[in-house]
């Protein structure tokens, strides 16, 4: 009988995701070991509070409070960094890579901020860095782009990348609940990050979009160059008016590349999607990603994007790849130097200007209800050469206030943002204009 190699797995952080990984490996250990040809040992875990009660049973002897002790332990083969954050997590990850270990991470913020540094550390220390769980939970989108569609050039990748925001927008749409009502339920179910701005203001989606941009084009786009808008200003009325116009509102992360100039643009914002688009029907905590390649055309990938099990599944997928690497088995997974651009160097990313991003727009205005206001608004838009496609004034009693819904013909981001700033200056416009993009993706 051939003796199986023992693979020791260390955990840095044992929160919801870490406990899910631990639980599922314990439950499915025999099958995983049979498939991989190795013995898996849940060897050690660094946690903030060893005395905290956890749903999974972990022997006290396997728990410590020092992440660096796990990262540098010579007996640990695979380090699962699941603590989050970009300070101590970064220090521990770099320490593990310096020791030549394989690191598996679900930390999209760290990867977005320091991905280039992490890959460089992996190459120098002869370690590996796997990050399937950092984007889209249960959808293996990173493997899809890096392996299944590796022969393609990608002009457009867009998708619903945050299950929390999608859950909120779905409840608003299907049950006519306000944003405030749905966020309370999302908190109760544990869907919202401790720092709610990560979800609600679009930053979680932005981190993931930057990672997808790197995978697709080999360039790290700085987060400061990514226009980011969240969902806090979306009202129940916006949901209803979008429905009447034939759309649904989804928060999208978008990575586009002009096929002629090669310029890249990454952005995050709520978007009106036509009801005949597949992603318009991706609801609740599910994610959906559309990937358009020059060879394969458009493929759409849908799966659970939030919750313990979906993310744990992606982490375990990376652990199995890591075990295969440790056993010297052939893998289609490219080395970090390939995705980092050293073997096949990518040109420096040239970012598209706002004036080069065109589309149709939806603008909601809260105005004084009196004659001549629409004429004032139209004059401002005409001066910026923004052509109005439609005007809706809902017949709702708001006292001396009224709401105007405008949609536009083709304009561009620079002009439409200047137009909104000018509209805000009108004395009869009571609040800042609310802008939504109308999807016209050519899939």
Query: How many whole angstroms separate alpha carbon 295 and alpha carbon 300?
Result: 15
Domain at 398, CATH number: 3.30.70.260
Q: Are residues 154 and 132 in the same domain?
A: no
Q: What angle do CA 151, 154, 160 make, to 5 degrees?
A: 120
Q: Are residues 106 and 78 in the same domain?
A: yes
Domain at 222, CATH number: 3.30.360.10
pLDDT at 219: 83
Query: Is the alpha carbon torsion for 260, 265, 271, 273 positive or negative?
Result: positive
Q: Are residues 233 and 179 in the same domain?
A: yes
Categorise residue 188: left if φ over 0, alpha if ψ from -120 to 50, beta otherwise. Answer: alpha
Q: Are residues 188 and 319 in the same domain?
A: no
Q: Are residues 359 and 245 in the same domain?
A: no
Distances (CA, A) of 246 to 165, 267, 321, 384, 400: 21, 23, 44, 27, 29
The answer to whether position 128 is within a domain reads yes
What SS3 state is found at 104?
strand
Tally of structural domains, the chain? 3
Residue numbers of the domain that contains 244: 141-305
The answer to whether position 378 is within a domain reads yes
Which strand ranges, in their side-by-side order, compose the sheet holding 78-81?
A: 63-64, 38-46, 5-12, 78-81, 102-105, 128-130
Q: Which two tokens stand for residue 345?
A: 């160097």
Domain at 22, CATH number: 3.40.50.720
The answer to whether position 210 is within a domain reads yes
Q: How many residues does the chain have?
A: 443
Choosing from 208, 248, 275, 425, the catalytic residue is 208
pLDDT at 397: 61
The answer to whether position 169 is within a domain reads yes
The answer to whether position 426 is within a domain reads yes
Q: Are residues 51 and 200 in the same domain?
A: no
The answer to whether position 345 is within a domain reads no
Rounded mean pLDDT for each run of 10 residues along the chain, 443 residues in total: 82 90 91 90 93 86 94 96 92 95 92 89 91 81 84 92 93 93 84 81 94 87 93 94 94 91 93 95 94 93 80 88 84 44 49 92 94 95 96 77 94 96 96 95 66
DSSP-assigned letters across all residues of 305-324: -SSHHHHHHHHHHHHHHHHH
8 Å CB contact between 100 and 73: no
The answer to whether position 349 is within a domain reads no
Is 208 marked active-site?
yes
The answer to whether position 238 is within a domain reads yes
8 Å CB contact between 63 and 47: yes
pLDDT at 146: 81
Query: How many whole angstroms separate alpha carbon 8 and alpha carbon 12?
Result: 13
Q: Are residues 266 and 325 in the same domain?
A: no
Q: Are residues 235 and 269 in the same domain?
A: yes
Distances (CA, A) of 271 to 22, 166, 315, 359: 37, 12, 30, 11
Q: Are residues 161 and 290 in the same domain?
A: yes
Q: Are residues 69 and 203 in the same domain?
A: no
Q: Are residues 266 and 287 in the same domain?
A: yes
pLDDT at 398: 67
Task: Tell which of 246, 279, 305 closes a domain.
Answer: 305
Q: Are residues 172 and 299 in the same domain?
A: yes
């Amino acid at each position: 009988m051939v003796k199986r190699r023992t693979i020791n797995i260390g955990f840095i952080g044992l929160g919801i995701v870490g406990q899910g990984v631990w639980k599922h490996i314990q439950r499915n250990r025999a099958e995983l070991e049979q498939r991989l040809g190795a013995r898996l040992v849940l060897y050690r875990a660094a946690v903030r509070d060893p005395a905290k009660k956890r749903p999974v049973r972990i022997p006290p002897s396997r728990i410590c409070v020092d992440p660096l002790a796990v990262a540098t332990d010579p007996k640990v083969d695979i380090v699962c960094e699941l603590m989050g954050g970009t300070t101590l997590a970064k220090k521990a990850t770099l320490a593990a890579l310096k020791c030549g270990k394989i690191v598996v991470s679900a930390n999209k913020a760290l990867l977005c901020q320091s991905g280039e540094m992490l890959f460089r550390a992996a190459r120098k220390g002869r370690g590996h860095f796997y990050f399937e769980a950092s984007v889209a939970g249960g959808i293996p989108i990173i493997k899809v782009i890096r392996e299944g569609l590796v022969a393609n050039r990608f002009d457009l990748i867009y998708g619903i990348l945050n299950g929390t925001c999608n859950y909120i927008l779905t409840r608003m749409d299907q049950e006519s609940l306000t944003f405030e009502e749905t966020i309370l339920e999302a908190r109760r179910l544990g869907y919202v990050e401790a720092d709610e701005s990560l979800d609600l203001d679009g930053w979680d989606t932005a981190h993931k979009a930057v990672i997808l941009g790197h995978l697709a084009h080999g360039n790290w786009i700085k987060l400061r160059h990514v226009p980011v808008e969240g969902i806090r200003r979306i009202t129940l009325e916006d949901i209803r008016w979008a429905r009447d116009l034939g759309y649904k509102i989804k928060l999208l992360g978008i990575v586009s590349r002009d096929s002629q100039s090669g310029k890249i643009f990454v952005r995050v914002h709520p978007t009106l999607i036509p009801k005949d688009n597949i992603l318009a029907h991706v609801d609740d905590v599910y994610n959906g990603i559309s990937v358009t390649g020059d060879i394969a055309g458009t493929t759409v990938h849908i799966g659970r994007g939030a919750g313990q099990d979906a993310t744990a599944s992606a982490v375990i997928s990376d652990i199995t790849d890591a075990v295969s690497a440790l056993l010297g088995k052939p893998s289609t997974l490219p080395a970090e130097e390939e995705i980092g651009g050293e073997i096949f160097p990518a040109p420096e990313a040239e970012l598209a200007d706002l004036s080069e991003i065109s589309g149709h727009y939806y603008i909601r205005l809260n105005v004084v209800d009196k004659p001549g206001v629409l004429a004032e608004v139209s004059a401002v838009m005409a001066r910026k050469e923004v052509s109005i496609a439609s005007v809706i004034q809902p017949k709702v009693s708001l006292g001396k206030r009224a709401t105007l819904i405008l949609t536009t013909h083709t304009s561009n981001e620079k002009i439409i943002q200047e137009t909104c700033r000018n509209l805000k200056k009108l004395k009869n416009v009571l609040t800042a204009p609310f802008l939504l993009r109308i999807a016209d993706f050519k899939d």
